[in-house]
Structure 1
Amino acid sequence: MRRPNRDTAVFTTSAVDLFASALGAFILLVMLLFPFYRNAGDATAHSRTLDVMEQRALAAGDVAQLLQRRESLIDAVEQAESGNLESERRLQRARERLQALRDLPEIPRAAQTEPEDPAIEPDIPAPVASDEFSLLGIATAAKSFVIVIDMSGSMLSYSRLMIDSVLEVLDPLDATNHIAVVGYQGDPSPVLWAFPDRTSMLQATPENLRDIRAFVRGLARNFAGSTPTHAALMAAMQYRPDAIILMSDGAPDNNPNFIVQDISSQNRFTEFEIHTVAIGDYTEDRTLVMFLQSLAQRNGGDFVGVSR
């Protein structure tokens, strides 16, 4: 009997391998080229896609402009807030200065005393030749004055010089002028003497000048303590005079630069003159001289010195 041939044909296996390889290559090419094929749709689908992409690009540009505008607005708001903070600080400083004026101790009205020697002081003031005249070397056209007198302990060495200088300031005044006097010392808080009280000034009539001279002479018996110049100037400002004449022999208790800045800042709204007079051996005290010169210069006044 003949045995059947069971060998597998080589051609048949090779053909299957060939077809399988071709199919795999086709699938690989399709996968590689798939992103480059146009999406399914009608003939206008591609153009609509391009329109959408263009609109997205325009929208992205608008968003960038809006973000830039937002940053600009944020910067503007921050600048406005910074300006508001500065305005609030200035307002707070103004409120503190106003409160300081309100908190000043009441200046007691000095008791009128009889002159020690009325015959020495004539009642007839010297004539005034023109609208501008000289007070202790200070040239001014002011009509109302507040004389601020340093009564600190160091003034004991110059008490006669101080009193004579104040009386010399009073000599040229007449009934066309108005006058007030404020004396000050620290013990340790500010202690002030005033004539008359802080609500009004006296007309410089012969009778009123006689009373003021007596008051000034009496101040010499109370020289003691420190030098609260800032409080005295603020008290003098309440009279609202045409001019203030500050007379001192020593540097103030407070920082001199602070006093000059604060008083000058407040004087912007009233614009009265502030004249300063250094008493005694002032050339040995540079701080005093610089303080008095700066205060007068910043407030339209003159600085003079009176030595022994």
Structure 2
Amino acid sequence: MFQLNSMVSNFLVLEEIGDGGMGVVYRARDTREDRIVALKCFKPFFDIDDTGRQRFFLEAKATGQIDHPHICSIHTINETNDGQMFMVMPYYSGGNLKDKMIKGRLPLSEIMKIAREMALGLLFAHERQIIHRDIKPGNIMFDGEGVVKIVDFGIAKLLDHPPLTNPGTVLGTMAYMPPEQAEGEPVNHQADIWSFGVVLYELLSGKQPFEGKTEQQIYEAILMETPVPCFRLNEEVPKALSDIVDRALAKSLEDRYQSFSDVIADLDNYRNGLPLAGQPAAATPPGKTRSGWFSALKPKKRDNSR
């Protein structure tokens, strides 16, 4: 943790702007380059955790491989004299999507712009074998021009990198997890498609598709419930757009969109008044078992590092 108004290397720490499971983010001034940046550092308990440090380096490696207009870049990774690891990233003045949503429902045209920019950034990452695994409104930032910047690849999974977590351990934010991730099963790029669908559902309907007072209740809803289609909750949402959300939220990997290129194609088809490439997946009847990810309802071991 950094003290406000202190110097960290050549960075003057100005204010805390974010607090996640693994790290704290600060707004700081780069006195060498005379620019405002964001510093992300570990929380203290990660300093003695080798796995936590591995994740930190993995985040830097994952994000450092990506150069795309809709993904946050990293200026550098460094370490203080007392061993505190930190990353230096661009500071985005436009806030995050979570804050925008608190202020009220966004216009449909803005939602479509955000959705397409998210999809473009995630497609680019997936083509480089990187899965985010924690897409949620708080990780969607905006620069001063309102351009989407996807941040926090702290639990990103490089498909060619050995797993850092034990089998059955659940990483991420439950409300945005696909069934296979909530079950602690191995995930692929379609996990991000599901999470994208949850965010889009929330933007269009004003509520989350899977709700509960506890994580266990949310977990059961993800596995057992079929959300009410967006167009039934908001009469301004066209059914075709609601169908895109439904397909992104298909519990079966076979029925879910196979790639973000397919998602983008349907978003463009909708925008241009053309038929969607495929019909939304049929709802999974409550209680139906699907081998490979659906097991008896039981609490899973949680990784509370985020």
Question: Structure 1 length as normaliser, TM-score?
Answer: 0.25
- Flag the structure with higher helix content: 1
Instruction: Give TM-score scaled by structure 2 length.
Output: 0.25
* Rg larger in structure: 1
